[in-house]
Amino acid sequence: MRTLKLTLAYDGTNYVGWQRQLNGVSVQQLIEEAFAPLVGGTPPSVAGAGRTDAGVHALGQVASVTVDTALACAVVQRALNVRLPADIRVMDVVEAPPGFHARFRAVAKTYRYRLVTSAVLSPFDRWFVWHAPGRYEIEAMQEGAVALVGQHDFAAFQASGTMVSATVRTLHRLDVRALAGEIAIECEGDGFLRHMVRTIVGTLAEVGTGTRDAGSIPRILASGDRRTAGRTAPAAGLTLVSVAY
């Protein structure tokens, strides 16, 4: 038996997310089904580093799988890509140490969110951004972002109804940059709650438009109440950029 580490890129528009679900096709499902002919017909269990939600994309999702095959890593990569749809690509396959698990061994993840502020949206961007035209005060958004960096209880920034035992996470970096006609928000941390990045983006967007004051961010964190934070930004703007080990 061998453990393989896969690096994946995908356009999440047509999928219910990374994880297998009963209500639609997931990325995990298609990867496992593509593996089946390579390992005797039974789909193996493929673990992803991050459970990206429906409509969320990935440039550097990492997955691990333990399989009984003598095929070279390059052959596995080609064979999987032949069987996968064009919106999912295996970018790399390498041998991993025995016991490697893509999710539990990860020490940090980086997500990027694109918010387009121009009046007209390019048709080539429509599946990969949040189109929210208007004027945004970047300095205010940056001020709000500073308050979120570090170790905090992010209960107020997780999806309502989520049942997790621990909501403390550490954000190593939260950058807000103004580009031509859009705002890029990049977030690196040791882990993320469900909808956490999208709620951070929605809250900072309200700060940028003046609906919310940057000074309210510490109070939102302290409240632990999802109702005190901003809207959940649309999934389309979010991409899992990379996973660190």
- Number of neighbouring beta carbons within 10 Å of residue 118: 13
Question: Which of 71, 96, 121 is at the close of a domain?
Answer: 96
Range of the domain at 197: 108-244
Confidence band of 52 (pLDDT split at 50, 70, 90): very high
User: Is the model's pLDDT at 146 over the cut of 80?
Assistant: yes
pLDDT, position 161? 80
Instruction: Give the residue-averaged pLDDT of 61-90.
Output: 97
Rounded distance, CA 183 to CA 176, Å? 7
Same structural domain for residues 127 and 87? no
Confidence band of 149 (pLDDT split at 50, 70, 90): very high
Q: Which residues fall within 8 angstroms of residue 188, CB to CB, at 6 or more apart?
A: 108, 109, 110, 111, 171, 172, 173, 174
pLDDT, position 29? 97
Question: Which of 96, 127, 158 is at the close of a domain?
Answer: 96
- The secondary structure element, H or E, covering residue 205 is helix 196-209
Rounded distance, CA 124 to CA 113, Å? 16
* Active-site choice (11, 53, 125, 153): 53
pLDDT, position 121? 97
- Percentage of the residues of the chain whose pLDDT score is greater than 70: 100
What is the pTM (predicted TM-score) of this model?
0.95
Same structural domain for residues 148 and 237? yes
Rounded distance, CA 72 to CA 64, Å? 16
pLDDT, position 163? 77
Is 102 part of any domain?
A: no
Phi, psi of 191, deg, nearest 5: 175, 160
**Are the beta carbons of 46 and 32 closer than 8 angstroms?**
yes
pLDDT in tens, 10-22: 999 999 999 999 8
pLDDT, position 165? 84
pLDDT in tens, 115-136: 999 999 999 999 999 999 999 9
Phi, psi of 187, deg, nearest 5: -130, 125
In total, how many domains does the chain have?
A: 2
pLDDT in tens, 77-115: 999 999 999 999 999 999 999 899 999 999 999 999 999
Question: Which of 96, 117, 141 is at the close of a domain?
Answer: 96
Residue 146, domain CATH: 3.30.70.660
Rounded distance, CA 243 to CA 102, Å? 9
Same structural domain for residues 183 and 65? no
Determine whether 53 is an active site residue: yes
pLDDT, position 164? 86
Same structural domain for residues 92 and 112? no
pLDDT, position 177? 98
Same structural domain for residues 78 and 115? no
